[in-house]
Amino acid sequence: MSQHDNSTQDPRIYVSAEQLRRLGPRARSLTLLARQPAQSVLNGRYASRLRGRGLDFEELRHYMPGGDVRTIDWKVTARTGEPHVRVYTEERDRQTLLLVDQRVSMFFGSQVYMKSVVAAEAAALVAQRVLAQGDRVGGFVFGDDSIAEHRPQRRAVALNQFLSSVAKANNMLNADLRPQGSIELNDVLQKASRIVGSNALVLVFSDFDGLNAQSEQLIRKLSAANDLILFPVTDALARQLPPTMRAAISDGILQADFDARDPALRARVKATFLDRVTDLEDWSQRYGFPLAPLETQVPALDQLMQLFGLRGGIG
């Protein structure tokens, strides 16, 4: 499969690595820290779950007179007969894992941008902000045929490699794409669960095509040990098909006439969309992680600024 040449393409349809890198300076107003402005999607009960940088246990030491009694380890003190304290050091950094969906289902947009572009730009903004605050960043960029894995690192060159992977996967998409593989969202969620450990920040940028019961279990597992934020990318057309719409649709192999004048067809499309949204909202409430919904009619930066309660200019 060849990469699409987007050198002269509309940036609303395809992204380039340079386009994604240029977003970096504009990301400095973003914050995913626990203390959030009132209007932020992370405010309230979700903010309390965002661990942020924490403390790593370093060693036990004898208690010195005048020290903070709150640091005394009473179990060790009782066992040894001598007062001991636990010494902690602040974590130097934290790993952030971004899962960026660039499957063929993302190559759609009835408004301004393709879903694939919104996901790519939002992930690029967050990734560059994470690195700028001193944390490790990496993740998985996945299409229908391949998954590019980037272990979290705190290096600009590693971030550039990640952004290049996003752009490469994005440029693989086209209307005639015939995927040879069948990579599912669950495949990537499983990979993330295996490498991420705990106390990481996990961000998923996807339309969540293929969501099922297994997805719930994987998402529950990730959210139990880590801070999880899902960024569902949607298009207005999925919510409400125009009753006069007719189009030829294709999966890259087969083509069919799509006639939205059929009320039963419109109802099925809407029900599929609502089922997916409802599942995500239910899981968000049940397992205590936030949703940060993104749409195709507004630039990713503007949406992130609104979602995360940002104030002031983007400078």
pLDDT tens-digit map of 204-263 = 999 999 999 999 999 999 999 999 999 999 998 876 555 555 544 444 444 444 455 556
* 304 closest CA partner among 106, 97, 122: 122
* 67 closest CA partner among 89, 86, 90, 80: 86
Question: CB burial class (10 A; 0-12, 13-18, 19+) of residue 183?
Answer: middle
Tokens read off for 296: 């195709």
Opening angle at CA 300, ends 37 and 161, nearest 5? 110
The pLDDT tens digits of the residues spanning 19-46 come to 999 999 988 878 765 444 445 556 544 5
pLDDT at 56 over 60: no
pLDDT, position 253: 46
Residue labelled with tokens 């992930």: 123
- Which fold, 17-44+93-308? Rossmann fold (3.40.50)
pLDDT, position 146: 94
| Spatial distance between the Cα atoms of 209 and 308, rounded to a whole number of angstroms | 25
Question: Where do the CATH 3.40.50.410 domains begin and end in the chain?
Answer: 17-44+93-308
